[in-house]
Chains A and B, each alone.
Chain A
Amino acid sequence: GNSVTQMEGPVTLSEEAFLTINCTYTATGYPSLFWYVQYPGEGLQLLLKATKADDKGSNKGFEATYRKETTSFHLEKGSVQVSDSAVYFCALSDQGGGSYIPTFGRGTSLIVHP
């Protein structure tokens, strides 16, 4: 079956530091990959997506590249802000495998200090 593995959190950074949150996946077909962000007390928001190998998704200074050879979709940002403190979820959608059930990782908490 499909699965998504994210690095354990919390990730604690100082403002303006470089961020990487690792995400690897297994899938039976050719998945599309997604990152979501969840701020405290809110629902998830779709942050970025990539639909095929070597695609780069980007939004709000965040980016992630679909690496088929390493089955990875790591989230990066060059300079984090306190307002980026949230929980980040990696997810995949693998319709080619016949499943309409998206698969989410467990989430990685990011804490950014001033």
Chain B
Amino acid sequence: NAGVTQTPKFQVLKTGQSMTLQCAQDMNHEYMSWYRQDPGMGLRLIHYSVGAGITDQGEVPNGYNVSRSTTEDFPLRLLSAAPSQTSVYFCASSDGDGFSNQPQHFGDGTRLSIL
């Protein structure tokens, strides 16, 4: 019973590099989302998806891309890393349950540092 799995757990990048944060869930949830968590702040929504082939922007989408080719996977791409993107990133899923994309299950996070 894996739930939501994120990889990698830690990553250090140089400014300008690109990378993909992986997220997979095995609960057949339609709703998936990406958040970033910064010190002293709540979670902020980057992008979300209400099903395979459908994605939309959240609160802070600039500098990030997503795709949803399958129900299980929802990768987050950093196009050209900037120090302001240093953060902890969480992937989350939900079965809807009347609350749309209010997250129910979170991964353990990816701690990303941009030098």
Contacts and interface: CB of A to CB of B under 8 A. Distances in A.
Interface of A: 4, 32, 34, 41-46, 49, 51, 89, 91, 93, 95, 100-107
Interface string B67-99: 000000000000000000000001010000011
B108 A95 contact: no
SS class, residues of chain B in contact with chain A: loop
11 contacts: A44-B103, A46-B104, A46-B105, A51-B98, A91-B102, A93-B102, A95-B99, A101-B48, A104-B44, A106-B40, A106-B42
Shortest beta-carbon contacts, A-B, top 5: A43-B106, A104-B42, A93-B102, A104-B43, A44-B106
B65 to A, nearest CB: 18
Contacts of A95: 99-100
A4 B44 CA distance: 12
Given A95-B100, A101-B58, A101-B59, A43 B90 contact: yes
A41 B108 contact: yes
Nearest to A95: B100
Contact of B42 (A41, A49, A105): A105
Given A46-B103, A93-B102, A106 B41 contact: yes
Nearest to A34: B102
A24 to B, nearest CB: 14
B66 interface: no
A41 B98 CA distance: 29
